[in-house]
Structure 1
Amino acid sequence: MVASARHTIETVTIPAGSFRMGDARGVGNPGDGETPVHEVYLDAFEIDATSVTNEQFARFVDDTGYRTEAEEFGYSAVFHLARTAPDDDVLGQPPQTPWWLGVRGADWRHPGGAGSTLEGVADHPVVHVTWNDAQAYCAWAGRRLPTEAEWEYAARGGLDGASYPWGDEAPDTDGTWRCNIWQGVFPSSNTLADGWLTTAPVRSFAPNDYGLWQTVGNVWEWCQDWFAADYYARSPREAPQGPDSGTVRLLRGGSFLCHDSYCNRYRTSARSSNTPDSSMSNAGFRTVAVTS
């Protein structure tokens, strides 16, 4: 089903029901707040089958003239092996995460910085979009970002308590990769066993049993909620909306950079966060329908 004349991403309806939200396997980082596992009930809702693509985001920009925050700031965070810009365009390199570079001119149209374009990646997820940018898109499309609970419920595809959208098997069981994550030695050498160094087309691999594609790996996806590590201990059972306030917004799903040597957040219950004005080459979003 297509949502509207503006928002042409295919959508699916998720049935009403209850599920156990959180890390049922006990493998998450305690600081991420994936526990306690708690029961959540949600009414039925409509969500995008895929992340919003470059092609779809371009429709929004062409219609509105919107400039993303990366374009306004003049730079964004680029994974070092994806940089196409010259050395002079590197504005910074965090010592704690040296695989990230602040690159002048990197934005959604130029994901690697100068010298990069969207040629050949129209069906890849849009990246270098902040939470604020995603909100602007939603306002134009008449939609909204999913709550964290909606995101996890839909991402599970009906597999309550499973580690991944396909079950508990490792992503490369039987030699077949089920998601776009890092293979090799992070962050210097990627064997490309899954076929991709950075983003993959949104309909790569296989959808979950609800029909959602790539809810783990590929790109992190912004959610509506503020983040708090202790929220699950006080979350209401019905339709939780997250904390009333905060400093960082939730991201879900992991990305093409996830690797067990430093980050196992390509699990369905995994959580991350960033400031709402942060943009990077491994984060995008999907949307849900606004209901009365």
Structure 2
Amino acid sequence: MDRQRWRNIHLNAVKLLIYLCIPQLTSGLDLINGIDEQVDKYEYLNLVRTVNGGRFMMGINDPRSDSGEYPPHKINVGSFIIDRFPVTNARFWKFRQKRSRHFTGSEIRGWSWVFWDLISNETLAKSTPSRDPWWVAVHGATWRKPEGPDSTIKQTLDRPVVHVNLNDAATFCQNEGKRLPTEHEWEYAARGGENGLTYPWGESYKRNRANIWQGPFPNSTKHRDGWKGLSPVDAFGPQNDYKMFDVVGNVWEWTTTRYYERLVDRRLQEEMYVVKGGSYIDTVDGKANHIIRTAQRMGLSPDYTAHNVGFRCVLPIPHEKFNKQSSRKRRRRDEL
């Protein structure tokens, strides 16, 4: 009798859980219904650029910087192919259709960091603020629900994918036969073949070239560029001579390079990795968050996820193979 009673109690508990979960699962499916028919329209954002290796001056001559940009130093980099755009929601959607068993860090953990002004009042009321009041731990924020459980990527498939940690980014690149860039490769490509420039396009900042914060922080932004939060990865046109987009601004991008504080014994430091490029909450002068520039860097824990962190992939090219490709291109030009 007792055994049967406990069995019934357990059965009723399971039924109750299913009843409570079904509406949430159904609403989630409704939000993303129809994406499969749309993602192919964004194939034009999957372009790459071949970068010939060489030696360049990395960093910036700014002794005030405490992130490791200073002092500038020369670095050798091999040849590689790099994405011209950060990985988009459309591209990550296709990846998850193939790798349905890969759940991102934010999906497993159940929450991720979102900028407070981008979420609904209902979601904000259910979220947990951080030490920085503008960052909120939003339960249910994931790569396909970037502003919380009541949001969707259905209308933002051309935005950079966010709420992905280092492993998520590395797994995606590996699935495409590529890998994440090192910090050296990322900065070398971001400079577009130029040496020592502050920005990908030149030495002076130009308006409407990147999605960054404008106006008082964190309560308002002037939105001169027309975007609040994330923007499409091609919203501002190419930023350097390699025709690369969103090199600075919009989202920080993961690299495989370990990050170390300059004045602390490396053996005592927690594991962190370099992210590059800055994001939509960073500024030209650094009065709010980080200064936007090509050499800028920051260290994040590998399991960190947020609404302003994404990535792009690279494919190294053996030096001999690159030389053969270059020779073939020269011959074709000569024949023409």
Question: TM-score, structure 1 length as denominator?
Answer: 0.86
CA distance in structure 1 between the aligned counterparts of 2:53 and 2:180, rounded to whole angstroms: 18
Letter of the 2:58 partner, please give it.
M
Question: Contact (CA 8 Å) 1:51, 1:285: kept in 2 or not?
Answer: yes
Larger RCO (CA under 8 A, 6+ residues apart)? 1
Extract unaligned runs of 5+ from structure 2: 1-42, 319-336
Alpha-carbon displacement from aligned partner over 1:57-97 (angstroms, at most 9, x marks no partner): 0011111112111011110000001113524420x2222x1
| Superposed structure 1 runs of 4+ greater than 2 Å apart | 84-89, 262-265
| Structure with higher strand content | 1
- Counterpart code for 2:91: Q
One-letter amino acid of the structure 2 residue matched with residue 17 of structure 1: G
Alpha-carbon distance between aligned partners in 2 of 1:110 and 1:40, rounded to the nearest angstrom: 39
**Larger CA Rg, structure 1 vs 2:** 2
Measured at CA, do residues 142 and 57 of structure 1 come closer, stay the same or move farther in structure 2, by a change above 3 Å? same
Aligned to 1:273: 299
Map 1:1-292; keep pairs closer than 5 Å: 9-24=46-61, 26=62, 29-30=65-66, 32-65=67-100, 66-84=102-120, 85-90=122-127, 92-95=128-131, 97-172=132-207, 177-207=208-238, 208-230=240-262, 247-259=271-283, 260-291=286-317
- Using the aligned pairs only, state the percent identity: 39
Unaligned runs of 5+ in 1: 1-5, 232-242
Determine the C-alpha separation between the residues in 2 that align with 1:49 and 1:17: 19
Q: What is the alpha-carbon distance in structure 2 between the residues aligned to residue 44 and residue 290 of structure 1? A: 6
Instruction: Name the aligned partner's letter for residue 253 of structure 1.
Output: G
Query: Which protein has the bigger helix share?
Result: 2
Query: Which whole-Å deviations, capped at 9, do the CAs of 1:147-195 have from their partners, x for residues lacking one?
Result: 00000000011221111011121232xxxx1110011111110111011
- The whole-number CA distance in structure 2 between the counterparts of 1:27 and 1:185 is 26
CA displacement at 1:15 relative to structure 2: 1.5
Residue type of the alignment partner of 1:75: W
State the aligned residue count.
267
RMSD between aligned residues = 2.1
1:29 positional shift: 2.5
Q: Secondary structure at the match of 1:139?
A: helix
Name the SS of the counterpart of 1:129 in structure 2. Answer: coil
The 8 Å contact of residues 142 and 290 in structure 1, kept in 2 or not, is answered as no
1:205-252 residue CA offsets vs partner (Å, 9 max, x unmatched): 121101111100010000011111349xxxxxxxxxxx9x96011100
Q: Is the 8 A contact 1:34 1:269 kept in 2?
A: yes
Shift of 1:28: 5.2
Alpha-carbon distance between aligned partners in 2 of 1:152 and 1:122, rounded to the nearest angstrom:
26
Q: What is the CA distance between 1:290 and its match in structure 2? A: 4.5
Q: What is the Cα deviation at residue 50 of structure 1?
A: 0.5
